[in-house]
């Protein structure tokens, strides 16, 4: 009887240890703008803007005057960049924490404007809220009765990132 209990405990510990490893392997979820078919790869290189994306940490990695920065959002100079339309080079052969170690190789192999094999994004590009546009045009037709200039746009209209604001 003791042998059966011991064998059961041993089997369960091996099973749970294996389950623990399986859960910890998939840390990050690829973004909807990421290319389909690369769920197990950690880094993308975006040649048009010379920026890396770390899927596991959900951060962009870019050179800022010789120092590599990790941010949830793209740098301000690239905020208008369309992540859904831009080409993503999936770095399938790198397993470290610093893909920029091979930055000169990446820049040489994938210059700005590089297009490799056709890619399909994991998800659809979000559509802007059309009801806001209709409301703005309705206000124009009625005339602005408040007398204030409504030409400003909210931050929400300009935020194309996947991360949090700083």
Torsion sign, CA atoms 90, 35, 45, 165:
negative
Can you tell me the distance from the alpha carbon of 94 to that of 41, in angstroms, rounded to the nearest whole number? 9
Instruction: Give pLDDT tens digits for 74-127.
Output: 999 999 999 999 999 999 989 999 999 999 999 999 999 999 999 999 999 998
Q: Are 47 and 114 in contact (CB under 8 A)?
A: yes
Percent of the residues in the chain that have a pLDDT greater than 70, as a whole number: 61
pTM value is: 0.63
What are the residue ranges of helices labelled H in 26-129?
103-109
Q: Are 54 and 42 in contact (CB under 8 A)?
A: yes
Structural domain boundaries in the chain:
43-109
Q: Are 45 and 106 in contact (CB under 8 A)?
A: yes
**Beta pairing, strands 89-91 & 59-64:** unpaired
pLDDT at 154 over 80: no
**Beta pairing, strands 67-71 & 59-64:** antiparallel
The strand pairing partners of 63, in sequence order, are 68
CB atoms within 10 A of CB 49: 16
Can you tell me the distance from the alpha carbon of 75 to that of 70, in angstroms, rounded to the nearest whole number? 10
């Amino acid at each position: 009887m003791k042998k059966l209990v011991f064998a059961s405990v041993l089997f369960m510990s091996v099973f749970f240890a294996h389950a623990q490893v399986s859960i910890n392997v998939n840390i990050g979820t690829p973004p909807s703008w990421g290319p389909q078919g690369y769920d197990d790869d950690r880094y993308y290189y975006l040649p048009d803007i010379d920026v890396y994306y770390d899927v596991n940490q959900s951060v962009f990695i870019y050179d800022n005057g010789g120092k590599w920065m990790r941010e949830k959002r793209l740098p301000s100079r690239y905020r208008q960049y369309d992540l859904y339309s831009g080409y993503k080079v999936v770095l399938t052969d790198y397993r470290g924490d610093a893909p920029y170690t091979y930055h000169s190789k990446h820049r040489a192999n994938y210059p700005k404007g590089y297009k490799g094999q056709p890619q399909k994004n994991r998800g659809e590009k979000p559509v802007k809220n059309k009801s806001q546009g209709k409301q703005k045009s309705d206000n124009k037709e009625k005339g602005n009765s408040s007398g204030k200039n409504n030409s400003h746009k909210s931050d929400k209209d300009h935020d194309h990132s996947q991360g949090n604001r700083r």
